[in-house]
Amino acid sequence: MRRLVLTAALAAFSFTAAHAADDPIKVRKSIMQSVGGAAGLAGGMMKGSVPYSPAAGKAAIATFNAAAMSFGSFFPEGSDSGDTTAAPAIWSDADGFKESLAKFASATTAAAAASGREGPADLDAFKEAVMPILSNCKSCHQTFRVK
């Protein structure tokens, strides 16, 4: 079951991104949809509306981590217009954006390492691993996303 959940999460992420590979805005949106799904799952487990399981915890963390490892590659010059919520600060403050992405990657890498092979053992361990990730999401969106 654990492998199935993890495989499904990663396959969904890979599938959507692969189909939009020639359009960085579509790729960014696909990645963010995957992250949004993982955040919804994480939030549901932390609120108690979704039963916690180590496998589901690991799947959410793996999705965050996969996004963190690739997301920054999809903001080339010229991809700042069109159907996007990417803020101009991504390009005008590229160093700040890279720093924000590095913090996100660090948080997801630490969470993945802490979750081990089986996923965080219990809800408290999951919360401890995921809260730094969600905090990074919020701070990045405040600066680098147009609402």
CATH number at residue 75: 1.20.120.10
Decide if pLDDT at 7 tops 70. no
As a 3-state breakdown, the chain gives helix, strand, coil percent values, each rounded to 5, of: 75, 0, 25
pLDDT in tens, 32-79: 999 999 999 999 999 999 999 999 999 999 999 999 999 999 999 999
HSE-CB for 7 with a 13 A CA cutoff: 4
Q: How many domains does the chain have?
A: 1
- What 3-state DSSP class applies to 16? helix
The whole-chain average pLDDT of the chain stands at 91
Which range marks the domain in which residue 114 is found?
2-144
- What global pTM score does this model have? 0.84
pLDDT at 2 over 60: no
Q: Are 78 and 111 in contact (CB under 8 A)?
A: no
Query: What are the tokens at 23?
Result: 């359009």
pLDDT(16) > 80: no
pLDDT at 123 over 80: yes
pLDDT exceeds cutoff 90 at 129: yes
Q: Residue 19: pLDDT band by 50, 70, 90 thresholds?
A: low
Residue 139 in this model has a pLDDT that exceeds 60: yes
Residue 117, pLDDT above cutoff 60:
yes
